[in-house]
């Protein structure tokens, strides 16, 4: 199968939504999508988010194609923003120029989520061109998913009528490792923030001031280490309050999907030793909340030595939330924890808090799941697996509430796609599966 040239055009936009300097690229990408959807018979508008704190956000593409009277309304969600290319020197090909090697195309966004959502849109177009009455199809594509979906989360409540639907379709997750289809029955929520520590007015000579001046690098290490107990459990009082544990059947199906520690170790290249001792990989990866350190920056990190006492440090922290937790409640607990442990002689600020959204789990008895099982069993005789994804699509829970739609989340990613990493890719086979899935599920609906 050859990849369509319009997919390559989409990939060439450097639409890093979290980077203010790429806002123009995001706008160009949104215009491209508007024109493409218009050519497919949709009425399309670009919704411009409000400027907040002097910062503009990428446009939201909102489209609708009316269907037959009495037919269901389907809302499809995707995101056109991508992760930064960093570290750029680890890419074997230019990160924003699609390069085909064998069956795979290599490019930032090749899978997440440009490849997945665009393949679905192509399948949707294929279906809409067939004879017969069709459902009403609505589409919302945003440019901030990778940084928390703040703009769309804020806009969505005012778009209730525009987004109202019966079913919410999302193609931004993974199939089972052997490409067996997978239905996502739950997602964790996500929230993130920055800790900033300051001490002296400048970096100091470690000989003259060692043992006298407070060390911000040491302080940030102490703060982030305090977030967990020695057994890996979360040490923040009140953080896990309200968390709803999974039911027995959910745990059983999740255990069957993960395949044990050996499979995970082969994937990540080390022992899966994160999280709390005594809990299985599937528990830790699907049903438990987390607090993760995404990065620590302080002092000198270049070649050789520079004997200084750092005057400042920062840490980037993300939290994955499960049903029963709220972003605000979890952040309050973490803030109290950190404020009570600021090292002597230092000042702490918590910045850039992005609330994101909470997690959710869907009932396995859902009629929509039964329909999806039938469709996916036509595509693969093994039928689908059920997955409780530890990752997050922050706005899905918001769209679920605002639209009134039942979510159906099916994607075709694989670990070898290396999303969020250098040399991201997507295969022709996966692209074809996503396109076929769109055709079949829309026909069934």
Task: Give me the pLDDT at residue 241, please.
Answer: 94
Pick 5-188+359-444's CATH classification: 3.30.420.40, 3.90.700.10, 3.40.630.10, 3.40.47.10. Answer: 3.40.630.10
Sign of CA dihedral 93, 97, 100, 104: positive
- Residue spans of the domains in the chain: they are 5-188+359-444, 189-243+289-356
Placement of tokens 């924003």 in the chain: 96
Q: What SS3 state is found at 228?
A: strand
Q: Are 72 and 154 in contact (CB under 8 A)?
A: no
Rounded to a whole number, what is the distance in angstroms from the first to the last CA of the chain? 27
Question: Which residues are CB-contacts of 317 (< 8 A; sequence separation ≥ 6)?
Answer: 192, 193, 194, 195, 224, 227, 291, 292, 293, 294, 334
Residue (of 172, 171, 173, 161) closest to 136 by Cα position: 161
Q: Where does residue 217 rank: exposed (0-12), middle (13-18), buried (19+ CB within 10 A)?
A: buried
Task: Give me the pLDDT at residue 1, please.
Answer: 61
CA-only gyration radius of the chain, Å: 23
Q: What is the dihedral of CA 238, 241, 243, 247, to 10 degrees?
A: 120
Task: Return phi, psi of residue 169, to 5°.
Answer: -105, 135
Task: Give me the pLDDT at residue 54, please.
Answer: 76
DSSP codes, 102-154: TTEEESTTSSTTHHHHHHHHHHHHHHHTSSS---EEEEEEES-GGGT-HHHHH
Placement of tokens 């778009």 in the chain: 159
Q: Are 162 and 404 in contact (CB under 8 A)?
A: no
Beta strands 136-142 and 60-65 are antiparallel
Query: Cβ–Cβ contacts within 10 Å for residue 48, how many?
Result: 15
Q: H/E element holding 8?
A: helix 5-12
Q: Which two tokens stand for residue 51?
A: 């400027």
| Residue 12 to residue 25: CA distance in whole angstroms | 9
Residue (of 107, 129, 135) closest to 423 by Cα position: 107
Placement of tokens 């849109």 in the chain: 121
Query: Cβ–Cβ contacts within 10 Å for residue 260, how many?
Result: 12
Tens of pLDDT, residue by residue, the chain (445 residues): 689 999 999 999 999 999 999 999 999 999 999 999 999 999 999 999 988 777 899 999 999 999 999 999 999 999 999 999 999 999 999 999 999 999 999 999 999 999 999 999 999 999 999 999 999 999 999 999 998 888 999 999 999 999 999 999 999 999 988 899 999 999 898 899 999 999 999 999 999 999 999 999 999 999 999 999 999 999 999 999 999 999 999 999 888 877 678 888 988 899 999 999 999 999 999 999 999 999 999 999 999 999 999 999 999 999 999 999 999 999 999 999 999 999 999 999 999 998 878 888 989 999 999 999 999 999 999 999 999 987 778 789 899 999 999 999 999 999 999 999 999 999 999 999 999 999 999 999 9
Q: In Å, what is the CA distance from 224 to each residue of 151, 227, 292, 319?
A: 29, 6, 9, 13
| Residue 231 to residue 228: CA distance in whole angstroms | 8
| Residue 203 to residue 299: CA distance in whole angstroms | 8
| Residue 15 to residue 424: CA distance in whole angstroms | 15
| Residue 440 to residue 352: CA distance in whole angstroms | 42
Placement of tokens 């290319």 in the chain: 85
Placement of tokens 């899935």 in the chain: 437
- What is the model's pTM? 0.83
What sections of 269-384 are H helices per DSSP?
A: 281-282, 327-339, 367-379
Residue (of 343, 341, 318, 332) closest to 394 by Cα position: 318
Q: What is the dihedral of CA 428, 434, 439, 440, to 10 degrees?
A: 120
User: In the sheet where 104-106 sits, what is the strand order?
Assistant: 99-101, 104-106, 425-427
Question: b/e for 30-43, b at 16 or more Cβ within 10 A?
Answer: bebbbebbeebebe
Q: Are 308 and 200 in contact (CB under 8 A)?
A: no
| Residue 144 to residue 80: CA distance in whole angstroms | 8
Could you please state the CATH topology (level 3) that the domain comprising 189-243+289-356 is classified under: Alpha-Beta Plaits (3.30.70)
Q: What SS3 state is found at 197?
A: strand
């Amino acid at each position: 199968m050859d990849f369509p040239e319009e997919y390559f055009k989409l990939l060439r936009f450097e639409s890093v939504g979290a980077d203010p300097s790429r806002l123009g690229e995001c706008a160009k990408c949104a215009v491209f999508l508007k024109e493409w959807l218009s050519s497919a018979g949709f009425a399309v508008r670009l919704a411009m988010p409000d400027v907040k704190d002097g910062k503009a956000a990428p446009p939201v593409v909102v489209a609708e194609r009316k269907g037959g009277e009495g037919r269901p309304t389907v809302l499809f969600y995707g995101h056109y923003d991508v992760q930064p290319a960093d570290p750029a020197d680890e890419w074997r090909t230019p990160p924003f120029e699609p390069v085909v090697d064998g069956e795979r195309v290599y490019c930032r966004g090749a899978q997440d989520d440009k490849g997945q959502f665009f393949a679905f849109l192509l399948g949707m177009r294929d279906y809409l061109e067939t004879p017969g009455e069709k459902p009403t199809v609505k589409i919302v594509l945003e440019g901030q998913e990778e940084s928390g979906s703040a703009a769309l989360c804020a806009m969505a409540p005012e778009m209730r009528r525009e987004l109202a639907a019966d079913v919410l379709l999302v193609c931004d997750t993974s199939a089972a490792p052997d490409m067996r289809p997978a239905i996502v029955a739950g997602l964790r929520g996500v929230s993130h923030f920055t800790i900033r520590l300051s001490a002296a007015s400048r970096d100091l000579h470690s000989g003259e001031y060692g043992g006298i001046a407070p060390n911000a690098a040491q302080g940030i290490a102490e703060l982030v280490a305090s977030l967990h107990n020695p057994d890996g459990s979360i040490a923040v009082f009140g953080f896990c309050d309200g968390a709803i544990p999974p039911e027995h059947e959910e745990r059983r199906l999740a255990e069957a999907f993960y395949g044990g520690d050996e499979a995970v170790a082969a994937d990540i290249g080390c022992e899966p030793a994160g999280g709390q001792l005594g809990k299985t990989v599937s528990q830790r990866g699907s049903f438990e909340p987390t607090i993760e350190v995404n990065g620590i920056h302080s002092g000198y990190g270049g070649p050789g030595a520079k004997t200084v006492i750092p005057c400042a440090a920062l840490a980037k922290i993300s939290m994955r939330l499960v049903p029963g937790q709220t972003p605000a409640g979890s952040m309050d607990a973490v803030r109290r924890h950190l404020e009570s442990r600021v090292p002597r002689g230092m000042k702490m600020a918590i910045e850039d808090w992005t609330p994101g959204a909470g997690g959710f789990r869907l009932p396995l008895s859902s009629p929509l799941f039964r329909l999806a099982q039938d469709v996916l069993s036509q595509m693969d005789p093994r039928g689908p697996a059920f997955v409780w994804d530890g990752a997050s699509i922050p706005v899905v829970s918001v769209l679920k509430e605002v639209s009134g739609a039942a979510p159906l989340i099916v994607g075709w990613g694989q670990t070898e796609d290396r999303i969020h990493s250098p040399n991201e890719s997507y295969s022709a086979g996966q692209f074809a599966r996503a396109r076929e899935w769109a055709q079949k599920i829309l026909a069934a609906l």
